[in-house]
Chains A and B, each alone.
Chain A
Amino acid sequence: MKTHKTREKSFALFGAPPAFEKPLPVAQLYFPSWERYEAAMRGIFERRYYTNQGPLARQLEEQLQQFLGVKHAICVANATIGLMMAAEALNLKGKVILPAFTFVASAQSLSWCGIEPVFCDVNPLTHQMTPANLEKCLDSSVSGIMGVNLWGGTCDPAAITEFARQHALPAYFDSAHAFGCVVNKVKVGNFGSVEVFSFHATKILSATEGGCLCTNDDDLAARLRNIRSGYGAGRPVDVLKTANGRMSEAQAAIALLSLEDFPENQRNNERLRQSYEVCLNSIPGIRVVKPSGVSFSNYQYLVCEVDEKLLGFSRDVLLTLLKAENVICRRYFYPGLHRTVEYISKQQMGADLLPVTDHLCATCLQLPIGAMVTLEAVETICDIVQRAHLVSELFQSVPTQGRQ
Chain B
Amino acid sequence: MTKTNTAELATFGGARLFDQPKSTSNLVQPDFERFLTYSKQFFNKRHYTNNGPLVRLLEKRMADFHQAQFCVTFCSGFWAIAVTMTALALKGRSEVIIPSLSYRRIADLAAWAKLKPRFCEVEAHTLAMSARTVAPCINDQTALIVGMHPIVNCCDAAGLVRLADENAIPLLFDSVESVYECCSLGKIGGFGDAECFSLHASKLINGFEGGYVTTNNEALAGKLAVLRGFGFLGQDHIVLAGGLNAKLNEIHAAMALANLDELDVQINRNRERYERYKRGLAPVRGIRLVEFDEAYQTSYKNILVELLPDWPLSRSRTLAVLHAENILARPYYAPPLHQKKMDYPHIPASLAVTDLLAERFMLLPCGEFVTVEDIDGVIGLLDLLYRHGPAIEAHATS
A contact residues vs B (CB 8 Å cutoff): 25, 29, 31, 34, 37-38, 41-42, 45, 48, 50-52, 77-81, 84, 103-105, 108-109, 111-112, 114, 200-201, 206, 208-209, 240-244, 246, 248-251, 254, 330-331, 334-335, 340-343, 371-372, 401, 404
- The 9 tightest CB contacts between A and B, nearest first, are A244-B78, A50-B201, A248-B208, A80-B245, A342-B241, A208-B249, A241-B108, A201-B48, A208-B48
Contacts of B243 in A (CB 8 A): 104, 108, 342
Contacts of A50 in B (CB 8 A): 27, 201, 206, 208, 255
Q: Which residue of A lies closest to B27 (CB)?
A: A48
B236 interface contact, C-beta 8 A:
yes
Interface string of B239-277 (1 = CB under 8 A from A): 111111111111110010000000000000000000000
Q: Given the complex of chains A and B, what is the CA–CA distance between A345 and B368 in angstroms?
A: 53
Task: Check if A240 sits within 8 Å of B200, measured CB to CB.
Answer: no
Residues of chain B in range 180-238 having any CB-CB distance to chain A below 8 Å = 200-201, 206, 208-209, 230-231, 235-238
Contacts of B246 in A (CB 8 A): 81
Q: Check A45/B209 contact, CB under 8 A, given A114-B114, A209-B249, A248-B252.
A: no
Task: Check if A77 sits within 8 Å of B75, measured CB to CB.
Answer: yes
Q: Given the complex of chains A and B, what is the CA–CA distance between A122 and B340 in angstroms?
A: 45
Which of B31-39, B133-141, B287-295, B379-387 forms part of the interface with chain A?
Answer: B31-39
Task: Check if A250 sits within 8 Å of B251, measured CB to CB.
Answer: yes
Q: Beyond the given A51-B201, A241-B112, A335-B238, please list 16 additional residue pairs across the A-B interface where CB-CB is below 8 A.
A: A41-B39, A45-B29, A50-B206, A51-B209, A77-B76, A81-B79, A84-B244, A109-B244, A209-B247, A242-B108, A244-B77, A246-B209, A250-B249, A341-B239, A341-B240, A371-B46
Q: Given the complex of chains A and B, what is the CA–CA distance between A206 and B42 in angstroms?
A: 15
Q: Given the complex of chains A and B, what is the CA–CA distance between A216 and B7 in angstroms?
A: 49
Q: Can you report 16 A-B residue pairs in the complex whose CB atoms are below 8 A from each other? A: A37-B39, A38-B36, A45-B35, A48-B368, A50-B201, A51-B201, A51-B209, A78-B247, A81-B246, A105-B244, A209-B49, A209-B75, A331-B236, A341-B231, A342-B231, A404-B238
Q: Check A342/B39 contact, CB under 8 A, given A81-B244, A105-B245, A208-B249.
A: no
Among B36, B242, B245, B247, chain A packs the most CB atoms within 10 A around the CB of B245
Question: Which of A81, A208, A249, A343 meets B49, CB within 8 Å?
Answer: A208
Q: Which residue of B lies closest to A50 (CB)?
A: B201
Q: Check A241/B111 contact, CB under 8 A, given A29-B46, A201-B49.
A: yes
Q: Check A241/B344 contact, CB under 8 A, given A50-B208, A208-B48, A208-B249.
A: yes
B310 interface contact, C-beta 8 A:
no
Q: Given the complex of chains A and B, what is the CA–CA distance between A371 and B46 in angstroms?
A: 10
Contacts of A371 in B (CB 8 A): 46
Q: Given the complex of chains A and B, what is the CA–CA distance between A84 and B78 in angstroms?
A: 14
B105 interface contact, C-beta 8 A:
yes
Task: Check if B112 sits within 8 Å of A341, measured CB to CB.
Answer: no
Q: Given the complex of chains A and B, what is the CA–CA distance between A81 and B250 in angstroms?
A: 19
Task: Check if A42 sits within 8 Å of B236, measured CB to CB.
Answer: no
Task: Check if A77 sits within 8 Å of B114, measured CB to CB.
Answer: no
Task: Check if B27 sits within 8 Å of A334, measured CB to CB.
Answer: no
Contacts of A25 in B (CB 8 A): 46
Q: Check A254/B46 contact, CB under 8 A, given A48-B27, A109-B244, A342-B242.
A: no
Contacts of B201 in A (CB 8 A): 50-52, 248
Contacts of A41 in B (CB 8 A): 32, 35-36, 39, 251
Contacts of A251 in B (CB 8 A): 208, 249, 251
Contacts of A81 in B (CB 8 A): 75, 79, 244-246
Q: Check A404/B27 contact, CB under 8 A, given A50-B206, A77-B76, A79-B245.
A: no
Q: Given the complex of chains A and B, what is the CA–CA distance between A244 and B198 in angstroms?
A: 12
Question: Which of B76, B231, B369 meets A104, CB within 8 Å?
Answer: B231
Q: Check A401/B236 contact, CB under 8 A, given A77-B75, A79-B245, A104-B231.
A: yes
Contacts of B209 in A (CB 8 A): 51, 77, 244, 246, 248
Q: Which residue of A lies closest to B76 (CB)?
A: A244
B343 interface contact, C-beta 8 A:
yes
Q: Given the complex of chains A and B, what is the CA–CA distance between A243 and B40 in angstroms?
A: 32
Task: Check if B251 sits within 8 Å of A254, measured CB to CB.
Answer: yes
Contacts of B350 in A (CB 8 A): none
CB distance from B47 to the nearest CB of A (A): 9
CB distance from A43 to the nearest CB of B (A): 11
Q: Given the complex of chains A and B, what is the CA–CA distance between A105 and B111 in angstroms?
A: 20
B314 interface contact, C-beta 8 A:
no
Q: Given the complex of chains A and B, what is the CA–CA distance between A371 and B35 in angstroms?
A: 25
Contacts of A77 in B (CB 8 A): 75-76, 209
Residues of chain B in range 20-75 having any CB-CB distance to chain A below 8 Å = 27, 29, 32, 35-36, 39-40, 43, 46, 48-50, 75
CB distance from A112 to the nearest CB of B (A): 6
Q: Which residue of A lies closest to B341 (CB)?
A: A238
CB distance from B122 to the nearest CB of A (A): 23
Q: Given the complex of chains A and B, what is the CA–CA distance between A81 and B32 in angstroms?
A: 30
Among A51, A249, A401, A404, chain B packs the most CB atoms within 10 A around the CB of A51
Q: Which residue of B lies closest to A42 (CB)?
A: B32
Task: Check if B230 sits within 8 Å of A104, measured CB to CB.
Answer: yes
Q: Check A104/B238 contact, CB under 8 A, given A42-B32, A48-B29.
A: yes
Interface string of B344-371 (1 = CB under 8 A from A): 1000000000000000000000001100
CB distance from B150 to the nearest CB of A (A): 21
Q: Given the complex of chains A and B, what is the CA–CA distance between A105 and B239 in angstroms?
A: 14
CB distance from A49 to the nearest CB of B (A): 8
Interface string of B68-108 (1 = CB under 8 A from A): 00000001111100000000000000000000000001001
Question: Which of A37, A84, A243, A372 meets B46, CB within 8 Å?
Answer: A372
Q: Given the complex of chains A and B, what is the CA–CA distance between A206 and B43 in angstroms?
A: 14
Q: Which residue of A lies closest to B25 (CB)?
A: A52
Q: Given the complex of chains A and B, what is the CA–CA distance between A242 and B337 in angstroms?
A: 14
Q: Given the complex of chains A and B, what is the CA–CA distance between A200 and B248 in angstroms?
A: 12
Q: Which residue of A lies closest to B238 (CB)?
A: A340
Contacts of A104 in B (CB 8 A): 230-231, 238, 243
CB distance from A258 to the nearest CB of B (A): 11
Task: Check if A31 sits within 8 Å of B245, measured CB to CB.
Answer: no
CB distance from A136 to the nearest CB of B (A): 25
Task: Check if A80 sits within 8 Å of B244, measured CB to CB.
Answer: yes
Task: Check if B112 sits within 8 Å of A243, measured CB to CB.
Answer: yes
Q: Which residue of A lies closest to B232 (CB)?
A: A104
